[in-house]
Amino acid sequence: MSKLLRIPVVVFSIFLIFISQSSAAPFVPPAPKISAKAWAAIDYNTGTIIAESNANTRLGPASLTKLMTAYVVFNEIKAGNISLSDQAMVSRNAWQKGQPTGGSHMFAKQGSKISVKELLKGMIIVSGNEASVALAEFIAGDETTFASVMNNYARKLGMTNTNFTNSTGWPDPEQYTSALDIARLTQAMIHEFPEYYKWYSEKKYKYSGYQDDPRYREIKAQSNRNLLLWRNESVDGVKTGHTESDGYHLVASASQDNMRIITAVFGAKGKVARAVESQKLLKYGYRFFETRKLFNAGEKLIETKIWKGKSDTLPLGLTEDIYITLPKRQFKKLDVEHILEPTITAPVLKSNTYGTLSISVENNKLAEHPLVALQDINEGSLWKKMYDTVMLMMQ
């Protein structure tokens, strides 16, 4: 398996460790049979793989490509390079990728200027091809340059089985991704941009910028193609895709019982089938697994002796929150160990590492993370340093 994505709020990106089958271990059945070419289900907070098949196989992403297009745009907004109110031109090239080809579109007119916000919603909710190209051209000048930006972000996210050549998912033998890579991307997007992720839950969309044109006033709102938004109340996104060669794709994200699961199903046999298969994975994940937050960032976990300082004790903790995903009923077997440096002397700087927190289940190590100083501690008085020096020699 490849290395999973690490995001700031998540301390550990770990692989699920199945406990050896003993009489005391909980029974975890294999994942249900999924009728698709490839699929993966991961926990959002930990990156743990709950279930997968052919998850690193390279397949055409189709409109799932627009997840990365959106991620790039969100980052451009965050960096202050563009704003939601900026107006982007719908070029002839952009327009031709939509209505004239029969591809998905938001009914944007050629030559019109539309806000970045509306183009994003048109791309996210109804998968508008012209919206994707217009955004790519607005940011980078053309799709080729924009694709290089997409690939740069893919590398940063550890998407080792991904390459983009355009912003829409238009079929290209050099454009590919994997179920696990797309799950990683979705994990990052939800974490980094929750204020924009909410658009993926909207069920219908109609661009209202052409009220002066009677031809466009008659156009009805289009529906989001993610059927799970209607079928499962816990699902709040994410994206569909389809090509003749690779079949029907769906990335879904659901949140319940303080646990978010992301599923990526590639190459199902139809629109309904991709929703049905995704639902199977979600049910399996919530039935047999759970995620718990063990410790908070900045929380004092242990105090240890410090020598030659103004204080005699040093509080240690973590710089990030810790979540762990395990089969249900397995948390009672968790073992947490603090491994500390044998001798710590002042001065001490906050956030410097002075030990390790180790988490395991039945001698199977799940994760490790550095224990850091939670405060600065300066050197003590001359008398204190002399006294502690003698005490250390005696020890």
Q: Is residue 62's pLDDT more than 70?
A: yes
Which residue in the list 13, 37, 63, 308 is annotated as catalytic?
63
Residue 261 resides in a domain? yes
On whether both 147 and 244 belong to a single domain, the answer is yes
What is the 3-class SS of the chain, one letter each residue?
A: CCCCCCCCCCCCCCCCCCCCCCCCCCCCCCCCCCCCCEEEEEECCCCCEEEEECCCCCECCHHHHHHHHHHHHHHHHHCCCCCCCCEEECCHHHHHCCHHHCCCCCCCCCCCEEEHHHHHHHHHHHCCHHHHHHHHHHHHCCHHHHHHHHHHHHHHCCCCCCECCCCCCCCCCCCEECHHHHHHHHHHHHHHCHHHHHHHHCCEECCCCCCCCHHHHCCCCEECCCCHHHHCCCEEEEEEEEECCCEEEEEEEEEECCEEEEEEEEEECCHHHHHHHHHHHHHHHHHHEEEEEEECCCCCCEEEECECECCCEEEEECCCCEEEEEECCCHHHEEEEEEECCCCECCECCCCEEEEEEEEECCEEEEEEEEEECCCECECCHHHHHHHHHHHHHC
CA distance 220 to 381: 78
| 66 belongs to the catalytic site | yes
Residues 218, 338, single domain; the answer is no
Average the pLDDT over 151-165 and give the result. 98
What does the pLDDT read at residue 26? 65
35 among known catalytic residues: no
My answer on whether 246 and 313 are in the same domain is no
Report if residue 267 sits inside a domain: yes
Q: Cis peptide leading into 347, omega within 30 of 0? A: yes
174 and 323 belong to one structural domain: no
184 and 221, same domain (yes or no): yes
Considering the chain, what is the average pLDDT of its residues?
91
83 and 188 assigned to the same domain: yes
Please confirm, yes or no, whether 311 is among the known catalytic residues.
no
Does 16 map to a domain?
Answer: no
User: Across residues 52-71, what is the average pLDDT?
Assistant: 97
The domain containing residue 47 runs over which residues? 38-290
Q: Which of 13, 37, 66, 167 is catalytic?
A: 66
Looking at the domain assignment, is residue 344 inside a domain?
A: yes
Q: What is the pTM of this model?
A: 0.87
Considering the domain architecture, whether residues 115 and 196 belong to the same structural domain is answered as yes
Query: Does 211 or 60 have the greater pLDDT score?
Result: 60
Domain boundary (264, 290, 316) is at 290
Q: Is the pLDDT of residue 98 over 90?
A: no
If asked whether residues 235 and 219 sit together in one domain, one would say yes
Residue 334 sits in the same domain as residue 372: yes
In a domain, 220, yes or no: yes
Domain boundary among 239, 261, 290: 290
Amino acid 218: pLDDT: 79
Whether residues 243 and 373 fall in one domain: no
Across 184-198, 201-215, 303-317, least confident range: 201-215
pLDDT confidence tier of residue 13, bands split at 50, 70 and 90:
very low
pLDDT at residue 1 greater than cutoff 70: no
The CATH number of residue 375's host domain is 2.60.410.10
> Per the domain annotation, does 57 fall within a domain?
yes
Are 284 and 328 in the same domain?
no
Among 271, 290, 309, which residue terminates a domain?
290
What is the total count of domains within the chain?
Answer: 2
When pLDDT is averaged across residues 13-25 and rounded to a whole number, the result is 39
Residue 106 within a domain: yes
Domain CATH number, residue 192: 3.40.710.10
Clarify whether residues 286 and 308 are in a common domain. no
pLDDT of 261 over the 60 cut: yes
**What's the pLDDT at 5?**
47
Does 207 fall in a domain? yes
